[in-house]
Amino acid sequence: MTTHLSKRNGVYYFRRKVPLDLQHIYSGKAEIIFSLKTKNRAEAETLARKHSVEYDEKFRQARTIAAQATNGPAPIPSPTSSSSVRPSVVDGLAIDDFDILVARHVRRLRQFRERSAENGTYENFKARLRSIINENKEFIELGEHPLDDVDRPLWHVEAELKAAKIVLKGKAFNSPVHELGSLASDITKDTQSLSLTELLNNWALERKPDPRSITYYGRAVAKLIEYCNVQHVRQVTKSHIVTLKNRLLEEGTTTVTTNNYLTNLTTLFSFATGNNVIEVNPAKDIRVQVSRDDKKERLPFTVEQLNQLFSSEVYSKGARPSGGKGEAAYWLPLLGLFTGARLNELCQLLKVDIRQESYYDQAQQEHVCWVMEITDAGEGQKLKNSASWRRIPIHPTLIEMGFIDFVRLSPGPRVFHELTASKAYDSISASWSKWFSRYLTNIGLKSDALVFHSFRHTFKYFSRHNSLPDSLQYAILGHTSGKTGDHYGGPTFPLAPLVQAMNNYILPRLQLPPRP
């Protein structure tokens, strides 16, 4: 009889056990399952033999990778080892202990449910429940095991099926009294070390990152838990991080995004080493080598592209698409072009950030100019880093086009009162950024290299074109060159040279229509 075959609704499936020492590489999965897309037994047996040979080779390669990652052979954990993730739910039970087995499954599934709700993988948890129900229901109906080389009593299947239904429907279930001690023992095993979710929470509490960063770090933790079947900080090894990296790449995740996940995990585990939770950072130095082709370079707009943008309906016909949030659709691209500021910096501007300040020129003559302060002092405002806090003289073109009058007439404390924070990231610019990308597409300008951030590159390009000194470019853009002197700038940088720099910032052949 050919092994590795199962049959569901007349269709044959390939099922292969994952060796115990490789389950961490296969995201903790105990078996590989996929459809052979045939109802013919002979054809299925031929395909199963072919896939069996393929997985023999994959398992061999996986052991090689694991050995390289740990600088030695990958050990096979003993089922009774203290490094085992959890004891088996069927330990010490016989068929008369059916209710106890159901209680154990219910307790564990509910624990997994709570963790998935905390780390953002709740949809995966629900999918897992439905899979347990569908597959085990089929086992019971057929009276045979779909995996030929697995010896599993049907009462085990029935207990898991019943527990999954109880948890999915949210039904109450009273555990047998004599099972409480066993369940308490399981809980003790789970709390022997800091969980990954607790590590994330502790890091966020101490470092106080912005909500978007917490979301991104949470995704990295969720991926590690999902793909490597680990829950606690001390369980994670270098091999797990390598597994995560390889799995992300296999699923088509870009190298840049994969490295972002790895960087976030490195930061969290560095926090863990600094707090004496672990001795070695398992994510350190694990990266995907990024080729130049993998990087999404942002290009500056050409003058021709700018003229195409500023002749579109928002500027020529006074259109105000709903996604553009009223006057934000008109002013934000202009502000990006003439300030080089980041989108979120502009979206979060308060009216008090736009004001007049006086300064003295070299002849000691007093002048007054309009400035825009990029700051995190107001409610809901945040900056990328300390160098981002700065004053930017408002370009004469913006004043001529009526920006100051627009600010004065804007209702409420914000310059762009119609913008609201995204629920997902607590970012005031996220939704508008998506609208702007669609708008560029609609007017024939969208490409991977052209986004709102391209205005920042455009400002840099034309600053060089107009021979603006680097120090002034850094002060306006909120950059540092790495030199010690560059840290003494920001809101205290002298206004006179900044005003002169803005007056010298010219875009040849740029055509801006009058405000409709």
- Per residue, what are the HEC states of 81-140? CCCCCCCCCCCCCCHHHHHHHHHHHHHHHHHHHHHHHHHCCHHHHHHHHHHHHHHHHHHH
Residue 134 belongs to a domain: yes
Residue 511 belongs to a domain: no
* Inter-axis angle of helices 122-142 and 154-169, nearest 10: 140
Give yes or no: residues 258 and 344 share one domain: no
Give yes or no: residues 23 and 62 share one domain: yes
Give yes or no: residues 239 and 183 share one domain: no
By DSSP bridging, strand 366-374 and strand 5-8 are: unpaired
Q: What percent of the chain lies above the pLDDT cut of 70?
A: 78
- Place 147 in a pLDDT band, splitting at 50, 70 and 90: very low
- Higher model confidence: residue 184 or residue 402? 402
**Per-residue pLDDT tens digits for 449-499:** 899 999 999 999 999 999 999 999 999 998 865 554 454 456 778 999 999
Query: Quick one: 189 exposed, middle or buried, by C-beta within 10 A (0-12, 13-18, 19+)?
Result: middle
Q: Alpha-carbon distance 8 to 301, whole Å?
A: 56
Residue 136 belongs to a domain: yes
pLDDT of residue 67: 53
Specify the CATH number for the domain of residue 282. 1.10.150.130
Query: Quick one: 437 exposed, middle or buried, by C-beta within 10 A (0-12, 13-18, 19+)?
Result: middle
DSSP SS3 for 507: coil
**Per-residue pLDDT tens digits for 88-137:** 667 667 787 788 888 888 888 888 788 777 767 777 677 777 777 877 77
Q: Which among 352, 355, 351, 332 is positioned nearest to 342, based on CA atoms?
A: 332
Residue 317 belongs to a domain: yes
Place of tokens 């600088």: 71
Q: Which among 442, 425, 358 is positioned nearest to 209, based on CA atoms?
A: 425
Q: Going by C-beta distance under 8 Å and a sequence separation of 6 or more, which residues neighbour residue 111?
A: 190
User: Residue 436 pLDDT > 90, yes or no?
Assistant: yes
- Among 190, 225, 247, the domain-final residue is 190
Residue 86 belongs to a domain: no
Phi, psi (deg, nearest 5) at residue 368 = -125, 140
Give yes or no: residues 316 and 412 share one domain: yes
- Among 165, 190, 215, the domain-final residue is 190
CB 422 within 8 Å of CB 431: yes
Give yes or no: residues 404 and 442 share one domain: yes
Give yes or no: residues 356 and 275 share one domain: no
Report DSSP state, residue 188.
H
Q: Going by C-beta distance under 8 Å and a sequence separation of 6 or more, which residues neighbour residue 201?
A: none
Beta strand residue intervals within 381-491, DSSP E: 390-393
Give yes or no: residues 439 and 455 share one domain: yes
DSSP SS3 for 235: helix
**Mean pLDDT for the chain overall:** 81
- Residue 354 to residues 20, 343, 414, 416, 475, Cα–Cα distance (Å): 63, 16, 10, 12, 17
Residue 383 CA to its chain's centroid (Å)? 19
CB 31 within 8 Å of CB 4: no
Domain containing residue 137: 5-71+91-190
Give yes or no: residues 223 and 282 share one domain: yes
CB 464 within 8 Å of CB 362: no
Give yes or no: residues 160 and 269 share one domain: no
Residue 174 belongs to a domain: yes
Give yes or no: residues 105 and 138 share one domain: yes
Give yes or no: residues 497 and 380 share one domain: yes
Specify the CATH number for the domain of residue 374. 1.10.443
**Per-residue pLDDT tens digits for 358-398:** 999 888 999 999 999 999 888 878 887 777 899 999 999 99
Q: Which among 196, 27, 224 is positioned nearest to 118, based on CA atoms?
A: 196
Residue 169 belongs to a domain: yes
Residue 397 belongs to a domain: yes
CB 420 within 8 Å of CB 428: yes
Q: Which among 234, 236, 101, 78 is positioned nearest to 155, based on CA atoms?
A: 101
**Per-residue pLDDT tens digits for 231-282:** 889 889 999 999 999 999 888 888 888 999 999 999 999 999 888 888 889 9
- Place 26 in a pLDDT band, splitting at 50, 70 and 90: low
DSSP SS3 for 62: helix
Q: Which of 21-35, 155-169, 229-243 has the highest mean pLDDT?
A: 229-243
Identify any residues that bridge with 16 across adjacent strands, giving them in sequence order: 32
- Among 254, 270, 294, the domain-final residue is 294
**Per-residue pLDDT tens digits for 293-340:** 555 567 899 999 999 999 999 999 999 999 999 999 999 999 999 999
Give yes or no: residues 109 and 176 share one domain: yes
Q: What percent of the chain lies above the pLDDT cut of 90?
A: 39
* Inter-axis angle of helices 196-207 and 255-274, nearest 10: 80
The total number of structural domains in the chain stands at: 3
Six token digits for residue 26:
């296969």
- Place 24 in a pLDDT band, splitting at 50, 70 and 90: low
CB 97 within 8 Å of CB 176: no
